């Protein structure tokens, strides 16, 4: 089931209209990633649509945020969006710190990731974004 199908199923359950052809085209076009992310964020906030978890490629662990940011410079060339995440792990606790991971996303998953909040930071098309934006 595609992202659009999953969203349309939720919209139907909420007695709302399905995504329009323009919205579907926006989700499919990496050039409109910011617009797609804003649309998904709006659907979640105003309509109660639960966004699916984005599927990406994880790189790490890194022992420091700085180390992860250095690797991010390479990752942002390969993916439409890259997120930096911090996780508490048993390995990290052994040296008194959390571990850091980079997650690369392409296509509609990049739009979902850009719409999600909770990452330390993320990059969309190579530009770093703040989680509060």
The tens digit of pLDDT for each residue in 81-111 reads: 999 999 877 776 666 778 999 999 998 999 9
Q: Where exactly are the structural domains of the chain?
A: 3-47, 57-129
Tokens of 115: 């719409």
Give me the percent of the chain exceeding a pLDDT of 90: 60
Beta-strand pair 121-124/99-105: unpaired
Residue 118 predicted with pLDDT over 90: no
Tokens of 84: 């930096």
The tens digit of pLDDT for each residue in 7-43 reads: 999 999 999 999 999 999 998 888 899 999 999 999 9
Spatial separation of the C-alpha atoms in residues 83 and 45, rounded to whole Å: 21
Tokens of 104: 């690369």
Single pTM value for the model: 0.84
């Amino acid at each position: 089931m595609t992202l659009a199908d999953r969203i349309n199923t939720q919209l139907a359950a909420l007695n709302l209209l399905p995504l329009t052809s323009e919205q579907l085209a926006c989700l499919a076009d990496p050039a409109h990633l910011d617009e797609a992310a804003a649309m998904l964020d709006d659907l979640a906030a105003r309509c109660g649509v639960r966004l699916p978890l984005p599927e990406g490629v994880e790189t790490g662990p890194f022992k420091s945020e700085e180390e992860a940011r250095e690797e991010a410079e390479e990752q942002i060339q390969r993916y439409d969006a890259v997120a930096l995440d911090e996780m508490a792990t048993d390995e990290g606790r052994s040296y008194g710190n959390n571990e850091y991971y980079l997650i690369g996303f392409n296509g509609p998953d990049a739009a979902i990731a850009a719409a999600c909040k909770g990452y330390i930071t993320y990059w969309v098309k190579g530009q770093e974004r703040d989680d509060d934006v």
